[in-house]
Amino acid sequence: MKLYMIVSLCALFALTQQAPSNKCLCELSTSEKVFPHDKLKAVEDGALKCNSDISPQKVAELDSLLLGLEIRLPQLQEDMSILEREDDGELYGVISLQVIENELKHINQLVARLKNVTLSHQRLTANTTEQLEDLTAKMQKLEVYDTMQVVNTQKTNQRLKKDLDQCKTGSNQASKPIQPPRGNCPHGRLLNITGSRVSTAGEYPGSYKYGAWGRDSKPEAGKEKWYWVVMMTVSNRFSNYVRFYATESSLIVGTSAGNVQINPTNPTTNTIQGPNVVLYGGALYYNCYNQDSICRFHLTNKTVVNVQLPKGTRFNSKGNFCHLEECYPFTDLDLATDESGVWVIYTTTQDFGNVVLSKVEEGEPLRLNQTWHTSLYKQGVTNTFMACGVLYATRYVTKDHEEIFYSFDTTTREERFDVNVFIQKRSPNIQSLNYSPVDKMLHVYSDSFMVSYKVLFG
Ligand SMILES: *[C@@H]1O[C@H](CO)[C@@H](O)[C@H](O)[C@H]1NC(C)=O
Ligand SMILES: *[C@@H]1O[C@H](CO)[C@@H](O)[C@H](O)[C@H]1NC(C)=O
Ligand SMILES: *[C@@H]1O[C@H](CO)[C@@H](O)[C@H](O)[C@H]1NC(C)=O
Ligand SMILES: *[C@@H]1O[C@H](CO)[C@@H](O)[C@H](O)[C@H]1NC(C)=O
Ligand SMILES: *[C@@H]1O[C@H](CO)[C@@H](O)[C@H](O)[C@H]1NC(C)=O
Shared domain check, 417 and 295: yes
Shared domain check, 212 and 69: no
Query: Which protein residue has the closest C-alpha to ligand 3 atom 10?
Result: 192
Query: Which protein residue has the closest C-alpha to ligand 5 atom 2?
Result: 369
Does residue 164 fall inside a structural domain? Answer: no
113 within 8 A of 68, measured Cβ to Cβ: no
DSSP alpha helix (H) spans, 290-424: none
Shared domain check, 201 and 57: no
Contacts of 275 (CB under 8 A, 6+ apart): 210, 211, 212, 230, 232, 328, 330, 331, 431, 432, 445
Shared domain check, 74 and 217: no
113 lines ligand 1 (CB under 6 A): yes
In tens, the pLDDT along 41-66 reads 777 787 777 666 666 666 667 777 77
Determine which of 117-121, 174-178, 250-254, 311-315 has the lowest per-residue pLDDT on average: 174-178
Contacts of 151 (CB under 8 A, 6+ apart): 40, 139, 142, 143
Shared domain check, 197 and 135: no
362 lines ligand 5 (CB under 6 A): no
Q: Which atom of ligand 4 is nearest to the CA of 281?
A: 4
Does residue 370 fall inside a structural domain? Answer: yes
Does residue 174 fall inside a structural domain? Answer: no
Instruction: Give the mean pLDDT of 27-36.
Output: 60
Shared domain check, 112 and 211: no
Shared domain check, 96 and 219: no
Shared domain check, 196 and 67: no
Q: Which atom of ligand 1 is nearest to the CA of 112?
A: 13
Query: Which protein residue has the closest C-alpha to ligand 4 atom 3?
Result: 298
Shared domain check, 240 and 128: no
Instruction: Give the mean pLDDT of 303-325.
Output: 95
Query: Which protein residue has the closest C-alpha to ligand 3 atom 14?
Result: 192
Shared domain check, 48 and 197: no
Shared domain check, 82 and 205: no
- What is residue 16's predicted lDDT score, i.e. its pLDDT? 44
- Cα–Cα dist 362/278, whole Å: 12
- What is residue 177's predicted lDDT score, i.e. its pLDDT? 34
Q: Is the predicted pLDDT of residue 28 greater than 60, yes or no?
A: no
- What is residue 38's predicted lDDT score, i.e. its pLDDT? 77
Which domain range does residue 98 map to? 41-139
Shared domain check, 222 and 124: no
Q: Is the predicted pLDDT of residue 83 greater than 60, yes or no?
A: yes
116 lines ligand 1 (CB under 6 A): yes
In tens, the pLDDT along 231-275 reads 999 999 999 999 999 998 889 888 899 999 999 999 999 999 999
Question: Which of 139, 174, 206 represents a domain boundary (last residue)?
Answer: 139
> How many independent structural domains does the chain possess?
2
pTM reported for the whole predicted model: 0.62
Instruction: Give the mean pLDDT of 102-112.
Output: 81
- What is residue 106's predicted lDDT score, i.e. its pLDDT? 77
302 lines ligand 4 (CB under 6 A): no
Instruction: Give the mean pLDDT of 304-325.
Output: 95
Q: Is the predicted pLDDT of residue 172 greater than 70, yes or no?
A: no
445 within 8 A of 395, measured Cβ to Cβ: no
Does residue 178 fall inside a structural domain? Answer: no
Does residue 364 fall inside a structural domain? Answer: yes
In the reported structure, the alpha carbon of residue 116 is separated from the centroid of ligand 1 by a whole-number distance in angstroms of: 6
184 lines ligand 5 (CB under 6 A): no
Determine which of 20-34, 40-54, 94-108 has the lowest per-residue pLDDT on average: 20-34
3 within 8 A of 28, measured Cβ to Cβ: yes
217 within 8 A of 385, measured Cβ to Cβ: no
- What is residue 41's predicted lDDT score, i.e. its pLDDT? 79
Does residue 47 fall inside a structural domain? Answer: yes
More confident residue, 142 or 289: 289
Nearest ligand (C-alpha, residue 218): 4
